[in-house]
Every structure is written in C-alpha cells, then in structure tokens.
Amino acid sequence: MARHIYVHNPFCARKCPYCDFYSITDSSLCEGFYRAAEKEVRLLRSAAGTDAGTNPGTDRYGRDTVYFGGGTPSLPNSRYVASLLRTIREVFDLSPDSEMTIEANPSSLAPDKLSDYREAGFNRISLGVQSLDDEVLKTLGRLHDSQGAIDALFMIREAGFTNVSADLITGVPGQTVDGIKKDLQRFYELGVKHISTYSLSLEEGTQFYDRYRNSLEDLVPPDTEREMYYETRRYLQSLGFEVYEISNSCLPGYKSIHNSSYWDSCEYFAIGAGAHGYLGDMRYGHRDDVRAYTDEMKLLSTQDYKEFLEGKRTDFKSLYVEEMLTEEDKMKEVPFLRLRTSEGIRLDEFKRRFGVEFEDVFSQAVESNIAKGLLERGKRTLRLTRSGRDLANQVMEDFL
C-alpha cells in the first residue's frame, strides 16, 4: 500500500498579507533546518516501523506521494531540497511512479533549480500564481507580476514538467468574473493540467485581517463571491476540467493524489517545523519554531521518536500530539473530509471500514440536510447539492 509524506518548508522571501501558514524570512536558518529534516526522515522511518503509514483500506490510488509545501519550497538553495527528497526516496524505499510535488513561486524559480528538482525525482510542480492581473497581484502583495508568472510556466514546461498545477485566488477586491475567466483560459493555453481555486478569506493574525476586519464592505460582497465561485466552476468544466473537490479541478488523469489522500482519511507522515501528520490514532504536529525544531532534531534518538509516536512521551520542544482519535472520531471525520469532494461520501467504503452503515450512525444529520436540500443521495453516495456547497461548513458541523 502507498505511503504519503508531507514536508513543510517554512521559508519565504516575504510574508503575503493574506497567508496564515507558518513561515519565516530568516534564510540563515535554512541549511540547519534541512539537515535536521533529513535526520527526522531517518528517525521517523526507524521509529514508525515498516507498516506505518501504508493506509490500509482507504487508499484507492496505490501510489506513494511526497509533497513539499510551505512557505516557499522554491526559495531555498535547490541542493538542500533535492538532497532531502533523495533521502526520503531512499529511506522510505518509494516506488518509481510516486507522485512527487513541490510548490513554487514565480519569483524564486530558475532553470537550474528546476533541473535539480527533476534530477532529484520531483515530477509535479504546484505554482503559486494567484492571478494574472497585475492590479490583483499588487492587492495580494505578491512579489511577481503577470509576465513573471507566464515566464515561470514556460520555464517549467521547458524543464520537462508536464504535471503542472496553478493556484488562483478569487474574491479579491477589484477582481471581476471576466478577469477570472481570462486567467483560466490563459492557464489552459499554457499547459496547466490542474487548477486550485481559493476564495479569499480573512484569517486571524494576517495583515489582511487587521486591514479589513472592521470594513468588510471593502472586500467582495458575498453574492459576488458566490457568483465568482460558480462561474469559475462552470468555465473550468467548459475547458474540459473535472471539478473534483470544492477548490480543485483537473484535466483527465491529473488529480492530485497527495491531496486526495487527505480527503480519503489516509495516514501521512510529516517532516519539518509547522508540519502536521496522521499515524494510527494520532494526529500530531511540529511547533511553528524553526530553531526549536533544528535544535531538538540534533538530540533526538530513534527511541525518543518511537516513544512520542506511541504516546509515552510528550516533553518535546518541537513535537506535540494534536489529538488521539477514537473510532467515533474517525467516523465523524469522514463527512468532514469527503463532503469536500464532488463524489461525496462513499457509503460502501464506510461500511467496509467501520462495519456499520453510515446512515445508521448519522441518520438525523443525513435526513435533516436532505430535507433542507443541502444533501442528495447518489448511487451509494451522499454529496452536497449546490445549496449545500454554499453552506458546506454548516452541513459538516451537523455530523460532528
């Protein structure tokens, strides 16, 4: 069975005003961090054992995945990144056809970096474009302009990458539906196979939150945001993209297997400060502190890490247990994750995994939301209706 591994690169050239992911700008810590991450790979593999993270009964794709997110993974010296991926491939003995993704920003890409990524084994690029409108990019505080993003997509293609994803943010002040369609059309023409579209949201602790929280009228009105969302879905479908999840669309054969593993409740390993993982009954995390992470990984032994994964020790500076899941908790996570997808909850898979019918466990929530027109039955599936997508969080909360 497949393994899934997430690596968090916590380094950015500058913090984007809307982003609440952990990142720092002190590049002097970069080399030490990547050395610590390589050690963590070896510790984790030895401590977890050969069967950990192999996702019995939930993984439909059967392919290993590695995902370097951030932060800006394309910012550090590519030698550090390539060396870490090689260590992961060697230590976990990953299959040759593994999906190996690296997130990149147009402002920090270069041909030599892309060459190093390809040589190390990366075969998928996720490019943080966000918009091809220069005014929108200025509002978002991005370091690149539209031409820089287009140049980066050409560079990626010339480096031999065919599995390319691009991010697009909608609901930005000053943005229009026609502008979004123009961006999507240009992505398609430039050979982008997968598009992740995110509605701008105010996250506490960000510059945007401080700027707009008392003047929400400065943001796009809710009705306009919903129009952008549905017009984006419709236009992507007209281009031949499958909208397979609330925020993700792809051309046939180009789903993100790594992201799909999350929605299928698969286990996954986590590497690096700010990274979060899921093994057995444990959801765990690394504190948002590069220095603590780097210092602690120098001192940890395999036995230390094993005791953490077994729940016997919690006195770590960088590692912590987020929660220990019961069987009931795992059942409740299924609608929370699967209702994000266009397919919805697969009732036969739930029965195989837990030994009970989904609708027997959640009868009240199911019937209530069907009656409200927010859920609909398919052939052994339950999925959100169009109205349900508008109230997705409310529907999901009914199952918790």
Distance CA 277, CA 103 (A): 18
Residue 5's DSSP bridge partners are 66, 269
Question: Among candidates 320, 375, 368, 319, which has minimal Cα distance to 347?
Answer: 375
Residue 239 lies in a domain: yes
The pLDDT of residue 332: 97
Location of structure tokens 């999925």: 383
Q: Give how many domains the chain has, as a whole number.
A: 2
Q: Same structural domain for residues 221 and 356?
A: no
The two three-digit tokens of residue 35, written as one number: 């050395």
User: 3: which residues sit within 8 A by CB, 6+ positions away?
Assistant: 53, 54, 55, 64, 65, 92, 94, 268, 269
The pLDDT of residue 49: 78
The pLDDT of residue 204: 87
Inter-residue long-range contacts of 346-351, CB under 8 Å, 24+ positions, other chains counted: 346/380, 346/381, 347/380, 347/381, 347/382, 348/380, 349/58
Residue 299 lies in a domain: no
Q: Same structural domain for residues 10 and 138?
A: yes
User: Which residue among 263, 287, 304 closes a domain?
Assistant: 263
Question: Among candidates 172, 177, 176, 179, which has minimal Cα distance to 202?
Answer: 172
Residue 281 lies in a domain: no
Is the separation of the CB atoms in 227 and 177 below 8 Å? yes
Q: Same structural domain for residues 23 and 169?
A: yes
Q: Same structural domain for residues 350 and 251?
A: no
Per-residue pLDDT of the chain (400 residues; tens, 9 = 90+): 579 999 999 999 999 989 989 999 999 999 999 999 999 999 999 999 766 666 655 667 779 999 999 999 999 999 999 999 999 999 999 988 999 999 999 999 999 999 999 999 999 999 999 999 999 999 999 999 999 999 999 999 999 999 999 999 999 988 999 999 999 999 999 999 999 999 988 888 898 888 887 765 667 888 889 999 999 999 999 999 999 999 999 999 999 999 999 999 999 999 999 999 999 999 999 999 999 999 999 999 999 999 999 999 999 999 999 999 999 999 999 999 999 999 999 999 999 999 999 999 999 999 999 999 999 999 999 999 999 999 999 999 999 8
Q: Same structural domain for residues 114 and 221?
A: yes
Distance CA 86, CA 351 (A): 39
User: Which residue among 263, 292, 314 closes a domain?
Assistant: 263
Helices marked H in the chain — which ranges?
A: 30-48, 78-92, 111-120, 134-140, 146-158, 177-189, 207-212, 222-238, 257-263, 290-299, 302-309, 327-338, 347-354, 358-361, 363-371, 386-390, 392-397
Q: Same structural domain for residues 112 and 27?
A: yes
Distance CA 227, CA 390 (A): 11
The pLDDT of residue 320: 97
Q: Same structural domain for residues 201 and 61?
A: yes
The pLDDT of residue 129: 98
Distance CA 53, CA 323 (A): 17
Q: Same structural domain for residues 259 and 345?
A: no
The pLDDT of residue 326: 97
Q: Where in the sequence is the domain holding 352, given as residue range(s)?
A: 338-397
The pLDDT of residue 104: 98
Q: Same structural domain for residues 153 and 245?
A: yes
Q: Write the CATH number for 188.
A: 3.20.20.70
Question: Among candidates 173, 195, 330, which has minimal Cα distance to 256?
Answer: 195
User: Which residue among 263, 295, 315 closes a domain?
Assistant: 263
